[in-house]
Amino acid sequence: MQLCELFNPGEKGKLRLARQAGVRHAILGAHPALAELPREEYTEALAKLKAEFHAEGLDILGVESHPVPAGKIKLGLPGRDQEIENYIAAIRALGEVGINMICYNFMAGLGWYRTRGDVAERGRALVSEFDLGAAERQGLTEWGEISEERIWSNLEYFLKAVIPVAEHAGVNMALHADDPPVSPLRGIGRVLTRGENFRRALKIVPSPASGITFCQATFKLMGEDIEALAREWLAQKKILFIHFRDVQGARERFRETFHDNGPTGYGANAEGLSRGRLYGTDPTRPRADPGGRVE
């Protein structure tokens, strides 16, 4: 297992601090760098970023969230084919520069979602919280009601277009769970809310390039046996990336915790997961604007 920190372009101070702390591997938020560029410039932009990180002593092993806009893809809106073409170009560019993993999600309209960002944790640190009741009181989004069946259809359309390209390019696609794992959320169906649905998603386009981001806290909130899931998917070589997080509560209401005061046994889990072909980050979610959208 290779432990990584998540960076966005331009965080030079954080890069130096990470190096001083002994971090040697990075996960890149590539969306800000590529979103406004024409496709033919993706490879050059990524190569430049990789060189900048290398100069600071870090190797970029993957990207987190979609490398280019994907909102229309997930909602099934006009223009999604253009977004898919951009996505395919981004996958090929990542493969060309040797960045071989994308941690992506299929949360349509709303990304990882919280209703508060000011909950006190240890030492008066502020962490985020999700409360389903509070989310329901916020009402529908601008997209109204979207069924789970439509989201499944949109996911299938996307995977059939990009997974063969990713396999050819040598880029692993690591699918993240819906966070929080509730459906619907403000009227929008969410389908990656239990282990069985991940098995269904992996069968859409069977490929060694199609796998899972094993976000321990989210699978725990689903009520899944995370040790059993880890054994199953490690045996199938489907865990391609890990998020080491912990939470206190249930899927209807929970808050983030520090790693050492949550209910999950991280030592044993890390030891077991380290047997796989993995990268791992520890995205404890501190104070944040609730309800932010993630492409």
31-72 pLDDT tens trace: 999 999 999 999 999 999 999 999 999 999 999 999 999 999
pLDDT for residue 288 is more than 60: no
170-209 pLDDT tens trace: 999 999 999 999 999 999 999 999 999 999 999 999 999 9
Question: Averaged over 246-259, what is the pLDDT?
Answer: 94
Domain ranges within the chain, ordered by starting residue: 2-108+147-281
Cα atoms in the Cβ-side hemisphere of radius 13 Å centred on 214:
28
pLDDT at position 271:
59
| Whether the Cβ atoms of residue 140 and residue 130 lie closer than 8 Å to each other | no
Token pair of 9 as six digits: 């372009």
Position with higher pLDDT, 92 vs 289: 92
Look at 77-91, 202-216, 271-285 and tell me which has the smallest mean pLDDT.
271-285
Assigned superfamily of 2-108+147-281: Divalent-metal-dependent TIM barrel enzymes (3.20.20.150)
pLDDT tier, 280 (very low <50, low <70, confident <90, very high otherwise)? very low
pLDDT at position 278:
44
Give the DSSP letter of residue 204.
H
pLDDT for residue 157 is more than 80: yes
Any idea which residue has 């100069």 for tokens? 55
pTM: 0.91
Q: How far is CA 201 from CA 74, 156, 176, in A?
A: 14, 8, 11
Q: State how far the Cα of 11 lies from the Cα of 71, in Å rounded to an integer.
A: 25
pLDDT at position 289:
36
Nearest of 230, 187, 183 to residue 211 by alpha carbon: 230
